[in-house]
Amino acid sequence: MAEETSPQGGQGLLFLTDEQLRKGIEAMFFAYRGFTADPDRILADKDYGRAHHRAIHFINRSPGTTVNNLLAILGVTKQSLNRVLRSLMQDGLVQSKIGREDKRERHLFLTEAGAVLERALSDAQRDRMRMAYRKAGPVAVAGFRQVLESMMDENMRRQYEALRDRGRS
């Protein structure tokens, strides 16, 4: 900790050393495991996986979204997403309605049962996030979000911000 005595070379640049960067990389790796652990446990019982969780999350977030929209957000192929959606629809958690304007499109909605599972999953995930936020405090949280946003690809950030705005408008 001796290098932090100099306010410039210490605080000013220490956070950019390879060592610091590697710590950040490892922190992301371990934290992401924690981030997914709780929902994974819930899903394991039900023969669903993370892919189902992601689909449910974003359908809940943007009810009536199309398959194509969801593809852009999730960043997978439509064939991959389709398999997940098919099982969710068969199990009655997701409902798809043929578009009125454009009949090629399918608009996706959670059913009541789907909303119940969504709530269970996001409650578990939010609980952990809340704990972490509370422990770290508002200043740390602002920094957390700032770094994550800078880490996104350009088009991911667009997706993220499109979702982001909806909450307030």
Partner DNA sequence: TTGGAATGTCAACAAGGCTGACATATTCTG
Partner DNA sequence: CAGAATATGTCAGCCTTGTTGACATTCCAA
Instruction: Provide the total of helices (H) and of strands (E) in the chain, helices listed first.
Output: 7, 3
User: Between residue 104 and residue 123, which ones bind DNA under the rule CB under 7 A?
Assistant: 104-106
Name which of its own copies, DNA, none residue 84 binds, using a CB cut-off of 5 to 8 Å depending on partner kind. Answer: DNA
Is 44 a binder of its own copies (CB under 8 A)? no
User: Between residue 39 and residue 78, which ones bind DNA under the rule CB under 7 A?
Assistant: 47-52, 54, 66-68, 71, 75-78
Phi-psi region of 47 (alpha: psi -120 to 50; beta: other; left: phi over 0): left
Cα distances (angstroms) measured from residue 106 to each of 61, 63, 95, 99, 163: 16, 12, 9, 6, 20
At which residue do the structure tokens 């019982």 appear? 45
Of 4, 33, 68, 86, the residue at the interface with its own copies (CB under 8 A) is 33
Q: Which H or E run contains 110? A: strand 106-110
Name which of its own copies, DNA, none residue 41 binds, using a CB cut-off of 5 to 8 Å depending on partner kind. Answer: none
Region near its own copies per CB under 8 A, out of 79-87, 88-96, 106-114, 146-154: 146-154
Count of residues binding its own copies (CB under 8 A)?
Answer: 63
Name which of its own copies, DNA, none residue 23 binds, using a CB cut-off of 5 to 8 Å depending on partner kind. Answer: its own copies
User: Cα-Cα-Cα-Cα dihedral of 159, 26, 36, 162, to 10°?
Assistant: -10
Q: Which H or E run contains 24? A: helix 18-45
The footprint of its own copies (CB under 8 A) covers 11-12, 14-16, 18-35, 37, 54, 61, 75, 122, 125-126, 128-153, 156-157, 159-160, 163-164, 167
